[in-house]
Amino acid sequence: MEGLLRHLYQERASDPLTKGVLLVEKVFGQEPFTDFFDAVIIIISEEASAAKVKHYNCSGVEAALHVVTEEELFYWILSGTNRKMIDWLFRGKILFNKNEYITNLKLRLSEFPAEDRLRKTGNEFAKLIRRFEDGKALFHLHHYLDAFNHILHALHHLARLSVIEKGLYPEVTVWRQVREVDPETYKLYHELIVGDEGIEKRLELLMIAIEFAIRSKIHIGKAHLASVMEKKNEGWSYTELEKSPEVNDYVIDLEILLQYLVENGQVKKVEEPSKTSGVFHYKYVL
């Protein structure tokens, strides 16, 4: 396989901007992991304009070539928005490894340094709040199947938080990890999926348990946002927080996260007069 595909990546490997090349081969029974291609080649480049995807047939071998930038890669690692790429990083065979770049990258994923954990925790917690609150609202409107979907996603974010708490990077097969590190959260997932109760009763009971779990994790969940807000003594307007590049991973859920933290006494709202009489701006302080 490697020999058949060498001409696809050989020129890129000699490019001084290329940091590494990975090969992921299709495994029988797991074809979706390579998007049904026989092989996927990932080329990591410093050059922003290099990003592209191409498909090839090499003597009967169907291959996908993905050229990604370092910036994209680190964003996906921290935000979790391209989970297949993370899976490919874990599983891929190294074909080119400039200055041990990919080796160090895999080491970073396995060791999951504190700075990365803090940022990813903030991201997962914000998404957890969004999914849980939306699911709860749909439940009260008696849209039980839609509520089920949101609560299931909330459980996935809760599961990833549990894995991160243990210093591990949440893999694609996160429930395998959770079963080992947090049996209680795994039990919640199991009850939602295969519980004997009707869907309404299952959701009702699980929402109580999940709400308790969220409250128990609120201090670690708010830690990343708090680390941003601590950078200045005065309050932050929402616009200032929204524009902070450090919260970019979860900016879409920032408003609901802030309101949740306010309601639970973790962040304070401070009123400041505006130019219009009787109208006040909100600033947020820890």
What is the predicted pLDDT for the residue at 1?
67
157 neighbors 127 (Cβ within 8 angstroms): yes
Computed over every residue of the chain, the mean pLDDT equals 91
> What mean pLDDT do residues 163-179 have?
88
163 neighbors 174 (Cβ within 8 angstroms): yes
In the block, residue with structure tokens 């974010």: 157
Q: What percent of the chain has pLDDT over 70?
A: 99
pLDDT tens digits, one per residue of 200-224 = 999 999 999 999 999 999 999 999 9
CA dist 48 and 273 (Å) reads: 44
For residue 45, what are the CA distances in angstroms to 10, 20, 71, 101, 282? 14, 7, 9, 11, 43
Cα(first)–Cα(last) distance of the chain, in Å? Answer: 56
pLDDT tens digits, one per residue of 82-136 = 888 988 988 899 999 999 999 998 888 888 889 889 999 999 999 999 999 999 9
- Global confidence as pTM: 0.84
- Number of Cβ within a 10 Å radius of residue 276: 7
Residue 273 — pLDDT band, cuts 50, 70, 90?
Answer: confident
What is the predicted pLDDT for the residue at 76?
86
